[in-house]
Amino acid sequence: MSRILTVAAAQLGPIQKAETRAEVVARMIALMEEAKAKRADFIVYPELALTTFFPRWYHEDRAEADPWFEAAMPNPQVQPLFDKALECGMGMSFGYAELTPEGQHFNSSILVDKTGAIVGKYRKIHLPGHVDYDETRAHQHLEKRYFEPGDLGFPVWRTMGGLIGMCICNDRRWPETYRVMGLQGVEMVVLGFNTPSVNGHRSGEGLAQRLFHHRLSVQAGAYQNSCWVVAVAKAGDEDGNHLMGGTLVVNPDGEIVAELEGEADGIIVVPCDLDATRFGKETIFDFARHRRIEHYGAITAQVGVVEPD
Ligand code: CDT
């Protein structure tokens, strides 16, 4: 049996500070049209897809960052993307900065089905970076200043003929992210990322190593939970700050089946057989038969390391 969901991983090249939502949405629509021509069912865009990666910019008054946030989704500036998706009969996922009616700020992503309905929302849980200006860093990474940790867990949704989950950027480096979704039977994890191509704390850690850690993380998550992973970059030079590419699709064996070259807007389209997740889920990663939860208590009982006496 096969159950094909054809996915388009839609990388965005750099978005400069001065670029408007309307300009970015036009770029996203152009990628969607390309995906439609290649018969994609589902298109995945990056983290914070509608704007530049603004958490690199420090504001003493954090409310000054609010113009980067969306107070409603969809809103008039993003509606043309929803209209195009409905016209194409295509599901989609993209990330954006969410400002709730209660005044909370999250780094969020949504899952939209082929009828244009928002069926899922995820709020980033593993926020990297720092709260205050850090002069020891080559560049600032102020996600902990501008966002609260997500409060929705790691849900999985039954949609588009499969079981689909989301996470965002830094979440992909944490095995807990995939396992919590794996325990809900996830068949495809989709995620977007904005990853600086140099570690702000360690200038010797450059592009090659950053790409290595990225691939290592998503390949391990896919293999250990026997699911597809679709990881989509915002890439290139944003106002002098470089983000790596590395948009790719990983199969449930942990193999990269497609990877986009370069740092510009572009897509890779992969027919993903969701039934290919069955083998791993029913053999080596049959959780019901093999997990030993009596030994996993420390995973949820503590945050930091507790060394033995
Ligand atoms: N956007 C995001 O989460 N970026 C992080 C950079 C970590 S360095 C502070 C990432 O994991 O790629």
Is the beta carbon of 95 within 6 A of some atom in ligand 1?
no
Candidates 279, 258, 262, 214; CA nearest to 44 is: 258
Number of domains in the chain: 1
Laid out side by side, the sheet with 42-44 consists of 118-123, 105-112, 91-99, 42-44, 4-11, 266-273
Is the beta carbon of 128 within 6 A of some atom in ligand 1?
yes
Query: In this predicted structure, what is the pLDDT of residue 117?
Result: 97
Q: What percent of the chain has pLDDT over 90?
A: 95
Please state the atom number of ligand 1 nearest to the C-alpha of residue 196: 6
126 in any annotated domain: yes
* Number of Cα atoms under 13 Å in the Cβ half of residue 30: 12
Contact 102, 109 (CB under 8 A): no
What's the pTM value of the predicted model, to 2 decimals? Answer: 0.98
* 281, two tokens: 């889920």
- In this structure, the residue with its CA closest to atom 11 of ligand 1 is 170
CA–CA separation, 241 and 235 (whole Å)? 10
Tell me the average pLDDT of the chain. Answer: 97
Domain hosting 180: range is 4-301
Contact 181, 168 (CB under 8 A): no
Q: How close is the Cα of 127 to the center of ligand 1, in Å?
A: 8
Average pLDDT over residues 194-222: 94
Average pLDDT over residues 217-235: 99
Split at pLDDT 50, 70, 90, the class of 308 is very high
307 in any annotated domain: no
Convert the pLDDT of each residue in 51-67 to its tens digit.
Answer: 999 999 999 999 999 99
Convert the pLDDT of each residue in 246-283 to its tens digit.
Answer: 999 999 999 999 999 999 999 999 999 999 999 999 99
Is the beta carbon of 217 within 6 A of some atom in ligand 1?
no
Task: Out of 126, 141, 168, 217, give the residue to mutate to test ligand 1, the one with the largest number of ligand atoms within 8 Å of its CB.
Answer: 141
89 in any annotated domain: yes
Convert the pLDDT of each residue in 122-172 to its tens digit.
Answer: 999 999 999 999 999 989 999 999 999 999 999 999 999 999 999 999 999
Question: Which CATH number characterizes residue 131's domain?
Answer: 3.60.110.10
306 in any annotated domain: no
Split at pLDDT 50, 70, 90, the class of 200 is confident
CA–CA separation, 297 and 33 (whole Å)? 48
Query: In this predicted structure, what is the pLDDT of residue 203?
Result: 82
Residue 110 neighbours by CB distance under 10 Å? 18
309 in any annotated domain: no
Task: Find residue 270's DSSP bridge partners.
Answer: 7
